[in-house]
Amino acid sequence: MKRRQILTAGALGAGALAAVPAAAQARGPKQDDRGKRTPPGLAKKDTLAFAAGKELKIGSAVAGGGHHTSQPYPPPFTDDETYREHLATEFTSLSAENQMKWDHLRPDRDTFAFADADAIMDFATEHGQDVRGHTLLWHSQNPAWLEEGDFSADELRALLKEHIDTVVGRYRGRISQWDVANEIFDDDGNLRTSDNIWIRELGVEIVADAFRWARAADPGALLFFNDYNVDGINAKSDAYYALIPDLLADGVPVDGFSAQGHLSIEYGFPGDITENLQRFADLGLHTAVTELDVRMPLPDGAEPTEAQLAQQADYYRRVTEAALAVDGCDSLTLWGFVDTYSWVPATFEGQGAACVLWEDYTRKPAYHAVQDALAEASGRADHPALRD
Residue 349: which residues within 8 A CB-CB, separation 6 or more? none
Separation in Å, CA 220 to CA 41, 175, 352: 38, 8, 37
* Binding-residue total with ligand XIL (CB under 6 A): 10
DSSP percent split of the chain into helix, strand, coil, nearest 5: 45, 15, 40
Rounded CA-CA distance 333/337 in Å is 10
Residue 196 binds to ligand XIL (criterion: CB under 6 A): no
Run of H or E residues at 262: strand 262-264
Q: Which stretch binds ligand XIL (CB under 6 A): 4-12, 60-68, 197-205, 322-330?
A: 60-68
Q: How far is the CB of 349 from ligand XIL (least distance, A)?
A: 15
Pick from 28, 30, 59: which is nearest to 42 by CA?
A: 30
One residue of 47, 260, 287, 312 binding ligand XIL per CB under 6 A = 260
Residue 224 binds to ligand XIL (criterion: CB under 6 A): no
- Amino acid type, 95: S
Residue 340 binds to ligand XIL (criterion: CB under 6 A): no
Q: Which of 67/127 has CB closer to ligand XIL?
A: 67
* Closest CB to ligand XIL: residue number: 66
Q: Which of 333/371 has CB closer to ligand XIL?
A: 333
Q: Residues 55, 126, 205, 291: which is the catalytic one? A: 291
Q: How far is the CB of 56 from ligand XIL (least distance, A)?
A: 20
- Burial class of residue 303 in the structure, from the number of CB atoms within 10 Å of its CB (0-12 exposed, 13-18 middle, 19+ buried): exposed
Residue 98 binds to ligand XIL (criterion: CB under 6 A): yes
Residue 66 binds to ligand XIL (criterion: CB under 6 A): yes
Residue 83: which residues within 8 A CB-CB, separation 6 or more? 63, 76, 77, 338, 341
Q: State yes or no: is 266 an active-site residue.
A: no
Q: Under rule CB under 6 A, which residues in 160-179 are in contact with ligand XIL?
A: none
Q: How far is the CB of 227 from ligand XIL (least distance, A)?
A: 8
Q: How far is the CB of 110 from ligand XIL (least distance, A)?
A: 25
Contact 134, 226 (CB under 8 A): yes
Contact 29, 47 (CB under 8 A): no
Q: Which stretch binds ligand XIL (CB under 6 A): 64-72, 264-272, 303-311, 322-330?
A: 64-72
- Burial class of residue 299 in the structure, from the number of CB atoms within 10 Å of its CB (0-12 exposed, 13-18 middle, 19+ buried): exposed
Pick from 335, 375, 372, 378: which is nearest to 96 by CA?
A: 335
Q: Which of 60/308 has CB closer to ligand XIL?
A: 60
- Amino acid type, 40: P
Q: Residues 55, 85, 155, 183: which is the catalytic one? A: 183
Rounded CA-CA distance 101/80 in Å is 22
Q: State yes or no: is 183 an active-site residue.
A: yes
Q: How far is the CB of 24 from ligand XIL (least distance, A)?
A: 39
Residue 192 binds to ligand XIL (criterion: CB under 6 A): no
Q: Which of 42/119 has CB closer to ligand XIL?
A: 119
Q: Which stretch binds ligand XIL (CB under 6 A): 42-50, 66-74, 206-214, 242-250?
A: 66-74
Residue 97 binds to ligand XIL (criterion: CB under 6 A): yes
Rounded CA-CA distance 246/75 in Å is 43
Residue 312 binds to ligand XIL (criterion: CB under 6 A): no
Residue 228 binds to ligand XIL (criterion: CB under 6 A): yes
Report whether the peptide linkage leading into residue 111 is cis, meaning its omega lies within 30 degrees of zero. Answer: no
Binding region for ligand XIL (CB under 6 A): 66-68, 97-98, 182, 228, 260, 291, 343
Instruction: Name the residues annotated as catalytic.
Output: 183, 291
